[in-house]
Structure 1
């Protein structure tokens, strides 16, 4: 079977088999075999290709690493575990955003704490978008059943929908910018996800407990690991059922 993930990764980056072969100093026919015959490259080439395409080795070559090794690498992707969101150092959110050069992704119901307590949050997103960083912000649909259910779970009722609208008020100045997408999602949110290139903060959700009091995982993507990519896949699924907050923008 052909390696369609590798083929698609090259297409997204605008690379041909010839240009990849040149970058890796290998024969173009070797690259063709990696794609058409699903041959696994040597580790040094897998590392280089994964870095070049911004994908993990485990995604591009699922069978290249033994299961035990994948589990070990995935454990190493955990930088830190915080017992609750309030225990995350306040400057960590801004530091991760400052270091981002490619992609910011936020998947929340409201996430009001970010713009409310960090005056630089929105202005930094604006600066990043202007330099070409892709910004994707997904908020719970205030009219959706899942937001209503979450409000009931936390004992705040319709206040959850109000929090979402309050949060969006902070982001209005971003809605006309290129590279910025601001959307609603109507999904059950098992985790709030904050992605900054290859680092991520995952705020787990606990039934009946506000997200501020639930644990947070700080993850850093590693080649051959699965943990980061599992949460990224969840983010992308929510992105697949989005609808624009401001359709005209």
Structure 2
């Protein structure tokens, strides 16, 4: 069955098969098959063709509305935990201990790390001594987003107090070469604990404390995957954060 919508759009724009094929980087015979036989191009090519014609891609090729099949399990997903409280602190510590190049921590407070593992600062110093770069971003206690989070979790000023406590825990690291601590004012959608190509991502759920929310353990598997999504998210927040200076 011919694709009359495509034929009309090309005619309206004065496109020949050859000219349009050159624009979307395919063979003219492919364009001819799209029009006369109703063939559907690959999604990326269809998107370019629709953009060139100023048309909606799904209007030209309705079959592209069909959802892509989902993977049962992402190749980057190592483990999924129902809640953070299910994870032994040793899991966090072991992951950080294995880091050789980069450690990134994005939280509002996460004081559980220092409380359960008092050697955390020493561990981070050991990592930078071995050439690892460490970036820590904790919540700005005066940020409206932090205050709102406390209200939503019915934790009141507790979350603000914990942000200040977290900063107190990390303050001895201020000025240590290779370690940078910043405060951020952002809405925290996920807490991120990254060590090289591994990350523990604590999802946040409205009205639920972080320790009761799910965590997924990711291991990077090529570019553009879930790991990179969260790594890029950390970078975006880091760019908005304020360095903590020595007193």
TM-based fold match above 0.5: yes
Q: 1:100 maps to which residue? A: 99
Q: Quick check: 1:112 aligned with 2:111?
A: yes
Mapped contact 2:174–2:180 kept (Cα < 8 A):
yes
User: 2 CA distance for matches of 1:182 and 1:74?
Assistant: 35
Instruction: Show the counterpart of 1:157.
Output: 156
Task: Select the structure with the greater relative contact order (CA < 8 A; seq sep ≥ 6).
Answer: 1
Query: Counterpart in 2 of 1:84?
Result: 83
Please state whether the residue corresponding to 1:192 is helix, strand or coil: strand
Aligned to 2:203: 204
Does the 8 A contact of 1:74 with 1:224 survive in 2?
Answer: no
2:238 paired residue number: 239
Q: Whole-Å Cα distance in 2 between the matches of residues 136 and 199 of structure 1?
A: 15
Instruction: Give the conservation status (yes or no) of the 8 Å contact 2:114–2:169.
Output: yes
Moved over 4 A (4+): 71-74
Q: Between Structure 1 and Structure 2, whose CA radius of gyration is higher? A: 2
Matched-pair contact (CA < 8 Å) for 2:89–2:113: no
- Seen in structure 2, the aligned counterparts of structure 1 residues 117 and 224 have a Cα distance that, compared at 3 Å, is same
Aligned residues: 180
* Structure 1 contact 77–225 (Cα < 8 Å) conserved: no
Q: Partner of 1:181 in structure 2?
A: 180
SS of the counterpart of 2:211?
helix
Q: For the aligned residues, what is the CA RMSD? A: 1.9
Cα deviations by residue, 1:200-232 (Å, 9 ceiling, x for unpaired): 000000000000000000000011551000011
Q: Which runs of 5+ in 2 are unaligned?
A: 1-67
Tell me by how many angstroms 1:74 deviates.
Answer: 7.9
Deviation, structure 1 residue 145? 0.5
Question: Deviation at 1:105?
Answer: 0.2
Taking the aligned partners of 2:172 and 2:214, their CA distance within structure 1 comes to: 31
TM-score, normalized by length of structure 1? Answer: 0.69
2:174 and 2:244 in contact (8 A); partners too: no
Instruction: Give SS of 1:80's match.
Output: strand
Residue by residue over 1:89-148, the C-alpha shift from the partner in whole angstroms, topping out at 9 and shown as x without a partner, is 321111101100000000000111111111222210011122221100001111110000
* Structure 1 spans left out of the alignment, 5+ residues: 1-67
